[in-house]
Structure 1
């Protein structure tokens, strides 16, 4: 199988929007990219898994994880070339790793190693204080607090710099900006 490409460096800040499903990661990534006049990296798994679901009716399977991690890294590396001092990543290998543990009680070794080695300046861990929005792929509305705790535990265990972001709408955006400004100075 193909390996996860090496992560390209950015002369600026790489920030991951991180946390459980339906917490506004994609929305906030777009808002931040617009504010900083830069690009964002979309969540590769979303399109990959939606296409799979539409074609087969199946959701994520263990053998999909490496393809997702590879696709996410390729998209990130391509975005580095277009980024303007900031790059906002809607997920990363650590998020894929955590979902692997939650759903399969195991993870590919290469995925775990990549999650440990990946370098980002900040993770914005989005709190579960937003309304749940169902779709074809989301399946844990009753487990949101437990999932949040799993994501925070992962950040701690992998020694990643993070800030918890809460609040609704404009307040969530303002809280994210404050966290970014703290590391920009």
Structure 2
């Protein structure tokens, strides 16, 4: 039997709602979501780590993770760029999530261009699915992916939050 992963959860008030921030004891960011989607976040944690594979304890996150995210929401957009992230997921999802992290603040990309970026140009739908399964939104900026026609398409936190996040960075469509 594998060892149970000890996770910590912190809560942060942001201009667009209460954010949940989950880290492990080493300070790696494991999940980020909105309080109104806490059930979804817990479900995804179970998918990635198993129903009994983790514990989730309320605390102030170590290593300044919550502080860095707070600074991001206060306008220091680079504050989250180097936060350490460790997530579950398939190798394909990990490829997509790494590519998302390379999208600079102030730009957006289409799902099709993201698929090309990871060397899988015909995997547009799979890229969309991986983007939607991103457990560490904001830090891995899935909100910067848009439809090929420039439409905002979905965002797990809601389109209003996506609009706010894009505007905060001064993002422009590709």
TM-score by length of 2: 0.28
TM-score by length of 1: 0.27
Specify which structure has the higher proportion of helix. Answer: 1
